Structure 1
Amino acid sequence: MPEPRVPARAAEDGPWHAEAVCRRDEAGLFFAPSKEPTAARLSREEAAKRVCARCPVMVACREHALLQPEPYGVWGGLTAAERRVVLARMRRRSAELRQAPGAGSIAAAG
């Protein structure tokens, strides 16, 4: 399995992933084996999300997975499918803001 990509951070902060709770768990919990049955996948993903829920760097992990974007696994409490939905909503919202009549004029009027 390839090494996950990690965004650059300020040296004084240290890498966010060093504090990740999942570093102490089995990686198989976060990444699907090939041909995994649906019921097993859903159970594994819920278990991974429970680990994420108690992680102090969940938000940084999620941001990383959305910015990369990470195509596989549970990152920051979101599955790959959930991240695709979030990214699609972000793209749609960005397009709506660009197309909105008078976009940017509110800031100028303020």
Structure 2
Amino acid sequence: MDEHQNGGSFNTEEADNIVKECIDSVVGNNDYNQNLVNKWTSAIVERCLTQLVKLGKQSKFIVTCALMQKTGAGLHTANSCYWDTAMDGSSTVRWESRTMYCVVSVFAIATA
């Protein structure tokens, strides 16, 4: 399943927009700072969960966040799910600034 397809009531585009807004509001134009990474990643996942729950979908959500300084090193991520593609869905957002990369994945599992 393509990462931008959506199943059932999960709207990938809507989730992508929420995640991008959350990353922008937490990290903004800040430069990478090792002392703030834990705070930023926690704030991003908590804010994403709060906004996703506000959508009122009958889903359980899992949100992961990886934040990495831009150093020229490679960053590879992958995920796989075994679920009901008609009702469940996922979204992965890759965001970058001048000094860092951020990858956030959202998994939505229908509860109804």
Same fold at TM > 0.5: no
Of structures 1 and 2, the one with the larger relative CO (CA 8 A, separation 6+) is: 2
Alignment TM-score, normalising by the size of structure 1? 0.35
* Larger Rg over CA atoms: 1
Alignment TM-score, normalising by the size of structure 2? 0.35
Name the one with the larger helix percent. 1
Name the one with the larger strand percent. 2
